[in-house]
Amino acid sequence: MMYRIQRWKQFAVFVFLFLVISSCKKQKPIEGPPPSKEPPAPSSSIYEALSNPPSITYCGSALTSTLKIKDGTDIGTVTVGNDSMYLYLTYTVNDPWYLGTVHCYAGEESLIPKNPDGNPVYEQFPARQELNFCDLRQAFSFRVPLSALTSDAGQCSTNVQYYIAMRASVKQIADPTNCAVGVDEAAWGAPFLINPGNTDDWATAFFYCKQDCITTPPPLPSSWCAYSQGYWFNQPSVTWCQNIKFGSLEVQQSEGTSLWPAQNNWVKRAFFQASALQLSMSCVNNGDAIPTSIVNEYNTLQTFLSQLSYTDIQNGTFGSVDTTGVRDASGTIGSWICANHCNSATDTTACSGY
């Protein structure tokens, strides 16, 4: 009898375990195959890939910067320029380097794709082109309509500044007949880090000032000409013939040059542009009156600045002072100086946005 009971107990335990195991199997979710990695998004339709660098005449001055790999080696250049309709972004690498996939961004600084750590997500840049290393390509360009881009004011004379990030996969190929050999690596257009607080990411970017397209410069008003703000405030060899005066505000040269550069301080920018005209009037044009074609803009800035203190200009503050027309006047003066600057050899930044 005891033997039967033991056998029955063993059987019951066996049935219980079987039911538990079956229940667990039923509750386990069915896993599908691992999700496939989505293919990278194609280039935005507003960016047009150009197989060969454009043969165009840029407005003003194009900007060329170095293209660097992670160890800091210069392997080529990136060039940005514009005509009246398009912004052009060109990669060029030197022997024995060749181009693979390229990505770039142009526009407003705050809109560049970033991850939560502040590092750029270049896969989400609006311009992207797959290139094959074995095509042995050493130059490539995009162009994008200026009308499609957002911008910052910055300190450009045109009041239009683009934040530019250009990345390329590059490979050093010693023997072009054996293009599969070598390791591809990242290269970025310098000069400053996008996320300087993160030592693990060395991606870089730069600023470009949209250039005015002046096909025929207006004639000089008599012999009156001007030097730019960069000439008066950023050349140690230049000596002012007088202090700058706007109402009760008087600024000596050492005080003025210590304010440079404007960066994103548009109050400083107004001060620099008006001062460039005032110093050009007194130190270059024998005190002759500022030409009528630009005097209204100068008077707008003069009225604004005469109500400020030196500290206001340092800090970019203006209290309740009326700022109507100030930013537009600053940009117009910068463009006027570009078209009427005195000497290209000594004033090389007159049309560069400085």
111-166 pLDDT tens trace: 999 999 999 999 999 999 999 999 999 999 999 999 999 999 888 888 899 999 99
What is the model's pLDDT at position 221? 46
What is the model's pLDDT at position 23? 46
Q: Is the preceding peptide bond at 218 cis, omega within 30 degrees of 0?
A: no
Question: In this structure, what token pair is assigned to residue 277?
Answer: 């005209």
- Is the model's pLDDT at 26 over the cut of 90? no
d(CA 262, CA 264) in angstroms, rounded, equals 6
- Is the model's pLDDT at 32 over the cut of 60? no
φ, ψ (nearest 5 deg) of residue 176: -60, -20
Of 50-59, 162-171, 255-264, give the range with the top mean pLDDT. Answer: 162-171
d(CA 187, CA 73) in angstroms, rounded, equals 9
What is the model's pLDDT at position 38? 40
d(CA 312, CA 266) in angstroms, rounded, equals 12
Of 23-27, 143-147, 347-351, give the range with the top mean pLDDT. Answer: 143-147
Model pLDDT for residues 311-343, shown as the tens digit of each residue: 999 999 999 999 999 999 999 999 999 999 898
pLDDT band at 52 (very low <50, low <70, confident <90, very high): low
Structure letter (DSSP) for residue 121: -
Question: In this structure, what token pair is assigned to residue 16?
Answer: 């219980």
Average pLDDT taken over every residue of the chain: 85
pLDDT band at 215 (very low <50, low <70, confident <90, very high): low
Q: Which of 12-16, 167-171, 235-239 has the lowest mean pLDDT?
A: 12-16
What is the model's pLDDT at position 148? 94
Q: At what angle do helices 326-339 and 292-305 cross, to 10 degrees?
A: 140
- Is the model's pLDDT at 15 over the cut of 80? no
Can you point out the beta strands (E) in the chain? 48-50, 63-69, 74-82, 86-93, 97-107, 127-129, 139-145, 161-172, 184-189, 192-193, 204-209, 244-246, 249-251
- Is the model's pLDDT at 186 over the cut of 80? yes
Q: What is the pTM of this model?
A: 0.52
d(CA 144, CA 23) in angstroms, rounded, equals 61
What is the model's pLDDT at position 20? 43
For residues 29-37, average pLDDT: 34
What is the model's pLDDT at position 29? 30
Contact status, residue 81 vs residue 55, Cβ threshold 8 Å:
no
Question: In this structure, what token pair is assigned to residue 165?
Answer: 């990030």
Model pLDDT for residues 53-88, shown as the tens digit of each residue: 667 789 989 999 999 999 999 999 999 999 999 999
The more confidently predicted of residues 218 and 110 is 110
pLDDT band at 190 (very low <50, low <70, confident <90, very high): confident
